[in-house]
Amino acid sequence: MTTTLNQLKMMTMVVADTGDLQAIKRLRPVDATTNPSLITKALSTPEFEPILKQTLVKHNNDIDKVIDDLTIYIGTEILKRIDGRVSTEVDARLSYDTDATVTKALEFIQAYEDAGVDKERVLIKIASTWEGIQAGRILEEQGIHCNLTLLFGLHQAKACADADITLISPFVGRILDWQKRDENREDIPVNEDKGVLSLKTVYSYFKQHSYNTQIMGASFRSVDEILALAGCDLLTISPDLIDKMATMEQQISRQLYPDMEFDVLPKEILDKETFDAQVNADPMTTELLKNGIDGFVKAREELAIKLQSLI
C-alpha cells in the first residue's frame, strides 16, 4: 500500500511549513511557507552566524534592513531547493498600514528580482487585517501574488476573495487551541474541531461562488486534522507531521472536492465597516489575530536582539 503522505499528495498540494533548509532539501516539497518565527529559528543556528555578521556589515548595522535582507536570503535559498513558490512575510508591525505594506512588498519583489528570482515564484505573505487585505488587492492588481495569513473566520475569507487574493491560509490548529481553552476540554474529536469546520466552510463558500482564491490549510496539530481536509487546494504542514505521514499506510479518502454538495452560503461583499463589525463581534478572531501579529513581531524582535549581540 502506498503511504498516507503519497495518498494525500494525489488529492492536495502538500507544502512544507518550515524555514529549515535541510528539511526542505530532504522533503522536496513543491512550495514552502515561512513566517517570522520560522525565519528567526532558522537563522539562530550556529551555521548562519557568518551570514548574519556579513549582512550587518553590508547594511552598516541597520537592523531592519538586515532582517529584510536575511528574509530574502532564506527565501532565495529555499527556492534553490524547490520547484514552486515561497511565501515571504511582510513585517508584522505594518499589519494595519496598507501603504507601508505595499511599499515593503514591492521592496521584497525587487530584492528577489535582483537575486534572479521571478516574481511568479514568490507569494507576499500579509496578515488578514482589513488594511492587509486591501494591500493585497493593490499588489494583486500589479501582478504580485499574495498569501493572506492569520485567517480565522469566514469574514476574513470573504474580504480576501473579493480582493482576488491568490491564496489564503486559515490557521486550523490555532482555532482548535482556542476552542480547547474556551470549552475547557482537551479531547475534541476531529468532527467537532472548529478549525477543521471553519476551513470547510470557507472552502464551501469559495467553490459555491467560483472564486479563484486558493485555500491553504495551515497550523496543524495532528495528522487527523490534515486528513480531515484531504482535497483542500493546498495544505502547509510541518516537517514532523510530513515525516509521520510518510511512515503511515492508513487508507484515506478525499474529504473536499469542488463539485461536492454544500450548504448554501449567500454571497456577501464586505465593506470596512461591516468587516470590522463582524471581526469585533467574533472574540476568537479578535484574540487570535492580535496574538498572531504580536507573536510575529516578537519573533522579529528576538532576531534583532540576536543581531545586536553580534555588533
- Which residues are the active-site residues? 125
What percentage of the chain's residues is helix, strand, coil (to nearest 5)? Answer: 55, 10, 30
Contacts of 127 (CB under 8 A, 6+ apart): 92, 95, 148, 149, 150, 289, 292, 293, 296
Q: DSSP assignment, residue 242?
A: H
Q: Which grid coordinates belong to 265? A: 452560503
CB 303 within 8 A of CB 66: no
| Cα 56 from chain centre | 28
- Secondary structure (DSSP) of 104-142: HHHHHHHHHHHTT--GGGEEEEEE-SHHHHHHHHHHHHT
* Cβ count within 10 A of residue 81: 18
Residue whose entry in the numeric block shows the C-alpha cell 534592513: 65
d(CA 112, CA 165): 20
| Cα 155 from chain centre | 17
d(CA 58, CA 71): 15
